[in-house]
Amino acid sequence: MIKKISLCIFCAGLFMSTSAERYAIVVSDTTNSMIGWSEVVDSLAARHSGQVFVWQDSLQEVKAALAAYSPDYIAFVGRSWYEIQTPFVEDIWVMTRELDADPYGDAIWGLVTGRDPPDAMRIVQNQTLQLRTVLGGTNCTWDSWFYQGISTFEAQYNRIRFKIPDTSLIIDTVCPPRCPDDRCTLLVNYINDGINDTILGYSLQGPVDYFITSGHGNVDVWQLHYPTPDLEGYFRSEAGQVYGDPRIGVNRYINSTNPKVYNAMGNCLVGNPSNPNYMPYGWLGSGGAIAMTGYMPTTVYGYMLWGLASLLQMAQDRYTYAEAFYINNQELLFDEINNTPGTDPTGLDYDRDACCYYGDPAADIRMFAWRDPWWDQGLDVAPGPGIDTITFWVEANYDSVDPGFSGTSGRRHPFAFLPGRYDSAVVIDSNCYGTVITDNFVLMYCWNQGDQRLTAGETRYVTFIGYPSTGIEEFPRSSIEYALDVRISPSVSSRSMSVEFELVRPGFVEVALFDALGRRVGELAGEHFGAGAHEIIWNPRSGGFAAGVYFIRFRVGRSEHTLKAVLTK
């Protein structure tokens, strides 16, 4: 039996209630006023009933408005390299974690761009895609989860794997006639023309929906062979055109019209957006990609994009591609905060803001499901007056299931989006190590490296009480029955802070202190107060509190409010 530990209970603060998903479009005033780009913005707004947020000089100008809107999705529309540089994407990462008080991401985001407006508009117009056919420019260790596909190897000549449609059969062979020393032309043909092959009587047919690469890369090039070029050529990008450059012979241009996803999961710099000749604009242009993920700096650890591939495929059609990208980043943040066994803290820190997602964050791009996922999972919700009782459970579909971090390209912790926004939650039962509950998701910490793996049919669960958000107001899910105002000053300090509040009538006041993990680390008050104004002083240094983020939860009667405090050195 797993020892029960209440690891993380987050009181998320003020949120908009969401009867429907909220979609935000963030764009500069200059881009929004330009012919072509303004049509991209208008099309996104019309398709998703979205609200447009316009900035002049900095993304930070719209942060407060976005926080009030509480979006589920944010599309950042930008005029390619004129606006989209690596620091711009890094700012997106930071800002989308700062829309509420917890340290996790607050919206699924994507960058809608291209070398010109038609490339961006093609992203908007292609909203659905089932990933049936994988093409691997690297050894695709997850090809058995795809309906069909072909994988080649960057470090071994002539080796090719065929994933036979609708079966678990893999044919792995070394065959120079099928896979020449230089795979450049072979891969270009597959991307342009689709797969139409027969192997041992089995037929593989269909356009390439998902292309993955690894090995050495740069901002405008992918080197096919690893670690040195040797007998193979390159893929290159120039002015929105991606093409193959064989070791011998003329260039082979990629002009693919079928929508696809490109995951440069193990390539340095291929996701860098800072120049018109760089790879994102080639793949979003002639490459036909409607979604792309890549590293902006050099690839070091690989948690974000190798883990993205595993999370997406082994869950089958549970998540969209953008959701899986978002989820994997939340998993990274969790592992970094909790020092999950097997992870590298330096690598997690490096990977946190290193990748970019190109595409519409709300597009329905997901795996074509043909087999059971690694585990089944569900949310059982029992609504109540002002509270919901929710059980999040997982059940292994196979023997030897590891529902937790099992390596940079391995599994991740069970994760589910909540059915609505919640202001706070309290765990009441669990057979897990712990749980993270934010306003919009739950993450279950139930397996560590070294633990016995789950057998088929074995389950893990957490049951918690969630308090649904009631909208923007001074006190969520409460009236002015007791408290008129609660505030902390200063909210950032190296010395003392004061919690000031005013009561309409006498009541029992509890003021509790939580650290950045949501763990209760102290109590500032637990007593009756009379009507009127009051002040409670917190002297963090006297209690030995380290610098960092803390949350102060104020409760009186049915009123509750959570305040964020930053203790500096």
**429-485, pLDDT tens digit by residue?**
889 998 999 888 999 999 998 899 999 999 999 998 888 765 433 223 333 345 667
**Using CA atoms in the order 348, 349, 351, 355, what is the torsion angle rounded to 10 degrees?**
140
pLDDT of 23: 94
Give the architecture (CATH level 2) of 8-12+371-468.
Sandwich (2.60)
| Helix and strand totals (H; E) in the chain | 11, 37
Tell me the C-alpha distance between 8 and 15, whole Å.
Answer: 19
What kind and span of H or E run contains 289? strand 289-295
Tell me the C-alpha distance between 553 and 550, whole Å.
Answer: 10
pLDDT of 423: 79
> Which 3 state secondary structure label does DSSP give 442?
strand
pLDDT of 522: 84
Tell me the C-alpha distance between 536 and 527, whole Å.
Answer: 12
pLDDT of 187: 97
Tell me the C-alpha distance between 367 and 209, whole Å.
Answer: 10
pLDDT of 483: 61
pLDDT of 264: 95
Phi then psi for residue 519, to 5 deg, are -85, 135
**What six digits make up the tokens of 525?**
């008050």
pLDDT of 557: 65
Fold observed for domain 483-567: Immunoglobulin-like (2.60.40)
Instruction: Give the start-to-end residue ranges of the domains of the chain.
Output: 8-12+371-468, 129-306, 483-567
Instruction: Check for a shared fold between 8-12+371-468 and 483-567.
Output: yes
Phi then psi for residue 183, to 5 deg, are -80, 0
417, burial (CB in 10 Å: exposed 0-12, middle 13-18, buried 19+): middle
For the range 537-543, what are the long-range contacts, defined as Cβ-Cβ under 8 Å and sequence gap of 24 or more? 537/496, 537/497, 537/498, 538/496, 538/497, 538/498, 538/499, 538/513, 538/565, 539/495, 539/496, 540/496, 540/497, 540/567, 541/495
pLDDT of 303: 94
Tell me the C-alpha distance between 438 and 424, whole Å.
Answer: 7
**Total-model pTM:** 0.80
Q: In the 8-state DSSP scheme, what is residue 236?
A: E
Q: Which ranges of the chain have pLDDT less than 70?
A: 1-20, 140-141, 469-484, 516-518, 557-560, 569
